[in-house]
Amino acid sequence: MEVIKDQFFEGERPLYARHGLRIENVTIGPGESALKEGSDIEAVGCEFRGKYPFWETRGFTVRNCIFRDGARAALWYSEGCRMYDTLVEAPKMFRRISDVTLERVRIPNAAETFWDCRGIRLRDVEALKADYIFMHCSDIDIDGYRQQGNYSFQYARNVVIRNAELDTKDAFWESENVTVYDSYIHGEYLGWYAKNLRLVRCRIGGTQPLCYCEGLILENCTFDEDADLAFEYSTVEATVKGHVVSIKNPTSGHITVDSVGEIIIDENRKAPGDCVITCQ
């Protein structure tokens, strides 16, 4: 493998179509597509300032690096990415990528990150300002994750999340086959129009959660005081610990809860309208 150390590159495609390359303590300055069309690339202790450095790249590892704001849209149309102990300041990262692993990565400006990706594995990752993150993504495995940003996981498929803190309005809209364990999810309109959304030992906050769902399952979850008007027009099997402020017009299934402030069943309920609500 060729090794390049302690150098500075800038301009258009300075390391274009390189294969079997390791760069150490290298700075990629202003310009575009520094490592485009490469394969078997390792970047260690590097700083990226120019745009699009890893487009159409196959098999690359990024370790202890920094992507500055100027390195926007740095990883698109690529496959086989491994990123460790890295700071990503650049927005719009990770588009149309398959087989990507992030461990101990911080993304403080994660707007429109992870779009149309598949095969995502995250461990100990933080994503802030993360509006529209994980749009149209599939096959996601997350453990140890903190996120602030709205409209996340929209249209996502086949997702497993563990030990997460999600501050996110409109999360999981029209998602399918999502399971979340031991996590806190806060934001308005959680999970609307989701199919096969399963929440296990989760804490839920925000108004009007879990409406218009199909095949919704809750196991030993709790609701915050602002999580009102829950389950409207959903087919649901739920066990909820503690108190729920209000439940409105669930379509069918069973809800078991310790206590509920108000059960609203009105003329707007949808057939079959036979959900059984049991208060302990």
Residue 30 in any domain: the answer is: yes
Residue 220 in any domain: the answer is: no
Residue 4 in any domain: the answer is: yes
Residue 145 in any domain: the answer is: no
Residue 51 in any domain: the answer is: yes
Binning pLDDT at 50, 70 and 90, where does residue 1 land? Answer: confident
Q: Which domain holds residue 20?
A: 1-109
Residue 11 in any domain: the answer is: yes
Residue 262 in any domain: the answer is: no
Q: Per residue in 47-66, pLDDT tens?
A: 999 989 998 999 999 999 99
Q: Per residue in 241-263, pLDDT tens?
A: 999 999 999 999 999 999 999 99
CA distance 155 to 138: 9
**Neighbour tally for 34: CB within 10 Å:** 29
- For 69, phi and psi rounded to 5 degrees? -55, -35
The number of folded domains in the chain is 1
- Is residue 18 pLDDT above 90, yes or no? no
Q: What is the pLDDT of residue 194?
A: 98
Type of residue at 265: I
Residue 93 in any domain: the answer is: yes
